[in-house]
Amino acid sequence: MAMASSSSNQETHLYISLLSTASVASHSTPSPSLRISVKAPLLALSLLLFVACIAFTKPAFLRLSESPSKSSPVPSHGTAKPTSVGSHLNSAIKTNSTHGSSPSMQRKSGSYAELVHKHKTLSGSEIYLKQAGEDASFYQPKSTAPTIFSEDGRLYSPWNSTAYESLRTAFHFQPESNWMNDPNAPLYYNGWYHLFYQYNPYYAYWGLISWGHAVSVDLIHWLYLDLAMEPDQWYDINGVWTGSATFLEDGTPLVLYTGSTNESAQVQNLAFPSDPTDFLLRNWTKYAGNPVLVPPTGILSTDFRDPTTAWIGTDGLWRLGIGSKLEQKGIAMVYSSSDFINWTMHENYLHEVEGTGMWECLDFFPVNMSGSAMGVDTSIYGEDVKHVLKSSMDNSKLDFYVIGTYDYENYTFIPDDPSADLGLGLRYDYGKFYASKTFYDANEGRRILWGWINESDSLQDDIEKGWASVQALPRQVWFDNVTQANLLQWPVDEVLDLRRTKVTLESTVLESGSVVEVSGGSGAQLDIELTFNNPTTSIEGHRDIVMADESYSCSEGTAARQGYYGPFGLLVLASEDLQEQTSVYFYFATINGKWTAFICNDQSRSTLASEVDIATYGSVVPVLETETSLSVRVIVDHSIVETYAQGGRTCVTSRVYPTLALEDAAQLFVFNNGTMPVTLQSLTAWQVSKVYMHAYSTVQ
Ligand code: DQQ
């Protein structure tokens, strides 16, 4: 921490200069056509609403099924008629367009001006009918203190407020206080990265969900803005839930989000920037005709949420995915629209998998088959791309993904390996990482993944800390064309700018049972890269040694369980006497007669505190027989340990709560607890500086 504070002046200058660069860039580009103010129309709408409220005395249209401004949603699944599809599919969209659209597309609509026009032209009575559900009884009092704890029910906690403060992260995104969950609608707009997030602005636990909003010029330093949206309409009064951004043809972003209505039904709502020339996108207008989508027949009203970023079909219509379930079959429904307001459900699902339960927070995007780390904009498809479908599984609270082919004639997705279908195979992260969402960063031509890291301490500790949850570092994602089977994930390059002093270890043989301190590597803010010889390759002369098959999974093991090769790796956030330590290790088990590598984060000795999660997380790491090195990057940020193995093929994120190994008392070791020696090729550990995260108003 001493290091962090000594560099803070320098960081201030750096950030202020970044800010001024962004604002110079941003002020040089406004398009006159976008200078549309909706303040006057909103005032007019408010007046109309007032008049309408007087005219109508009975709110007779509270129920969704009676919502008159949408002719009935879609009659039932299977009856909606798919819109026609062009036949020259491969040639449809090949170019990488900035905002997910192609100039050659024959789209019927797609401008901000059109949207505002439709917003303005709803009649006063239509608006009244939409608003009629705003019964005051559905508002929850916002100032009532929580009553869920009594003094008697208080759990033992070894932390005082200083220790709590030490668990706050230094370079991961988190709000100043209170509760956060899913990342929402991440986007890049005229010099600024925007992150919206599910946020309870009043308490450190879930509820009263609004959209928090922060902006950055580098994805690392952040400025908090006022709430982007609050639950203030009948169609979102129980929560402004998760949503995604899409750029209209003219480059204006809009968002579709799930509202939890006054009757706790889930509907999809549209919102757009009140002033697109404000590149901070501070004010959002909810479309007067909301909701634009209600649960179709056959779908429970509580199982219809989290619209994806939209993409464009060959017919020029927008497509959108929404997650749901039928009994325990997880499904991704797909809708079409020409104007983002009127949506038609397709007969077939984008995808479905039995037994996986409710699919939340769907994400659907293309990746480059060549293995280039360059991202691919969401509407692009063709022979050069594969598609990734991701779902957050409500039953298990785990994020799964699957790679496959998008059949753009039938709007369905075909997994490459049905045995590893969505929910059965790959995960982005085998630790704590949920409700993730990607976006295409047109600024750098890359696709970036955000994911929510929840707490695993007690609710009472969260309340005493005054905050709960962080976001994982933004990760660049792309297709691994070496394995041809998984994505690669890597912290965005901007994280490298936070590296400060470093220590290194030369090539060393770690004998069985050795624990070696990395001198100069203490601290709770570290970025560590290390490589080992792959002990199962000929480099160690052990290729032919194969043990009897062993059943192994990280969840059943710890760093104390000795194997032949492994566990070996790092101890981070370790107290001097090793009473506390979080180990990140490789372990090789023989499965089906072949050495199989695992990467695990063992939290079993991470804290002396009770009431926290101390499981071991991790999974298999694909390591080819020809690969003679094993690599791992471990990022430590006070209460977070993020592990990226073998270039990002397998990632594991831990949430740990040391009580001794805090700040500079946290030490770093390498170890080998396997029977056989292993060779550490190299290790470099950088101290990482704290980033700026402040209210925008404080830097004006
Ligand atoms: N979080 C949101 C929902 C979403 C869930 C509510 C996933 O929209 O399904 O805060 O964490």
Pocket of ligand 1 contains residue 303 by CB under 6 Å: no
Give the ligand 1 atom nearest the CA of 360.
9
Annotation says 182 is catalytic: yes
Ligand 1 centroid–CA 202 distance in Å is: 18
Query: How confident is the model at residue 162, as a pLDDT?
Result: 77
**Could you tell me the distance, in angstroms and rounded to a whole number, from the CA of residue 412 to the centre of ligand 1?**
24
- The Cα–Cα gap between 196 and 185 comes to 6
Does position 98 have pLDDT exceeding 70, yes or no? no
Ligand 1 pocket member 454 (CB < 6 A)? no
Please tell me if the CB atom of residue 361 comes closer than 6 angstroms to any atom of ligand 1. Answer: yes
430-451 pLDDT, tens digit each: 999 999 999 999 999 999 999 9
Q: What percent of the chain has pLDDT over 70?
A: 77
How many angstroms separate the alpha carbon of residue 242 from the centre of ligand 1?
6
In short, whether 242's Cβ falls inside 6 Å of ligand 1 is: yes
Q: What is the pLDDT of residue 81?
A: 25
Residue 305 has pLDDT above 90, yes or no: yes
Kindly indicate the confidence band of residue 116, based on its pLDDT and cuts at 50, 70 and 90.
Answer: confident
Q: Which of 306, 390, 453, 454 to mutate to test the pocket of ligand 1 (most atoms within 8 A of CB)?
A: 306
Query: Counting atoms of ligand 1 from 1, which one is nearest the CA of 206?
Result: 10
User: What stretch of H or E contains 600?
Assistant: strand 594-602
- Closest C-alpha to ligand 1, atom 11: 435
The ligand 1 atom at the shortest distance from the C-alpha of residue 242 is 8
Q: Which of 179, 181, 391, 397 to mutate to test the pocket of ligand 1 (most atoms within 8 A of CB)?
A: 181
Specify the pLDDT at position 546: 63
Better-predicted residue by pLDDT, 396 or 460:
396
Rounded to an integer, what distance in angstroms lies between the CA atom of residue 585 and that of residue 601? 7
Mean pLDDT, to the nearest integer, of 647-656?
A: 98
Cα of 197 from ligand 1 centre, angstroms: 10
Q: Pick the atom of ligand 1 nearest to 266's CA.
A: 8
Q: Indicate whether residue 306 lines ligand 1 (CB < 6 A).
A: yes
Q: Which residues pair with 434 in a beta bridge?
A: 452
Rounded to the nearest angstrom, the distance between the alpha carbon of 459 and the centre of ligand 1 is 18
What number does the ligand 1 atom closest to the CA of 243 have?
8
CA 121 to chain CA mean position, Å: 36
Encode pLDDT of 577-591 as tens digits.
999 999 999 999 999
pLDDT, residue 110, reads 63
Residue with token string 């490589």 = 531
Mutational test site, ligand 1, from 229, 230, 361, max ligand atoms within 8 Å of CB: 361
325 lines ligand 1 (CB under 6 A): no
Q: Which residue has the higher pLDDT, 143 or 176?
A: 176
Enumerate residues 6+ apart whose C-beta is below 8 A from 418: none
Q: Give 646's contacts (C-beta < 8 A, 6+ positions apart).
A: 597, 599, 621, 622, 623, 627, 630, 631, 632
Specify the pLDDT at position 147.
25
Task: Give, for ligand 1, the residue of 305, 359, 469 to mutate: max count of ligand atoms closer than 8 Å to Cβ.
Answer: 305
* pLDDT tens digits, one per residue of 485-501: 999 999 999 999 999 99
> Please, which pLDDT band fits residue 112 given cuts at 50, 70 and 90?
confident
Q: Is the predicted pLDDT of residue 379 greater than 50, yes or no?
A: yes
- 258 in ligand 1 pocket by Cβ < 6 Å? yes
d(CA 225, CA 281): 9
Q: Could you tell me the distance, in angstroms and rounded to a whole number, from the CA of residue 534 to the centre of ligand 1? A: 41
Give the Cα separation of 277 and 275 in Å (integer): 5
451 CA distance to ligand 1 middle (Å): 12
State yes or no: pLDDT of 100 exceeds 70: no
Question: What's the whole-number mean pLDDT along residues 504-513?
Answer: 96
Q: Is the CB of 236 under 6 A from ligand 1?
A: no
182 within ligand 1 shell (Cβ under 6 A) = yes
The contacts of residue 355 (CB under 8 Å, 6+ apart) are: 328, 329, 423
> Residues 48-55: what's their mean pLDDT?
34
Question: Which value, in Å, is the radius of gyration of the alpha carbons in the chain?
Answer: 26
CA distance 524 to 137: 47
Across residues 526-532, what is the average pLDDT?
98
Report whether pLDDT(115) > 60.
yes
622/179 Cα distance (integer angstroms) = 36
CA of 238 to the centre of ligand 1 (A): 12
CB–CB of 620/568 below 8 Å? no
**pLDDT band for position 87 (cuts 50, 70, 90):** very low
pLDDT of residue 382: 87
Q: How far is the CA of 399 from the centre of ligand 1 (A)?
A: 13
Report the candidate in 150, 43, 80 with the shortest Cα–Cα distance to residue 411: 80
- The active-site residue out of 182, 363, 421, 602 is 182
**pLDDT number for residue 545:** 63
Q: CB atoms < 10 A from the CB of 92, how many?
A: 22
Residue 700 pLDDT grade (very low, low, confident, very high; cuts 50, 70, 90):
low
Q: Are 478 and 367 in contact (CB under 8 A)?
A: yes
126 CB burial (10 A radius; 0-12, 13-18, 19+): middle
Q: How far is the CA of 458 from the centre of ligand 1 (A)?
A: 20
Q: What percent of the chain has pLDDT over 90?
A: 70
Give the residue-averaged pLDDT of 210-222.
98
Average pLDDT over the chain, rounded to an integer:
82
Residue nearest to atom 9 of ligand 1 (CA): 360
Q: Ligand 1 pocket check: which of 198, 268, 300 to mutate, most ligand atoms within 8 Å of Cβ?
A: 198
> pLDDT tens digit string along 230-286?
999 999 999 999 999 999 999 999 999 999 999 999 999 999 999 999 999 999 999
Ligand 1 atom closest to 452 (CA)? 11
Residue 40's H or E segment, with its range, is: helix 39-55
**Residue nearest atom 6 in ligand 1 by C-alpha distance:** 241
The response to whether residue 269 sits with its C-beta less than 6 Å from ligand 1 reads: no
d(CA 229, CA 198): 10
How far apart (Å, rounded) are the C-alpha atoms in residues 419 and 260? 35
What pLDDT sits at residue 123? Answer: 44
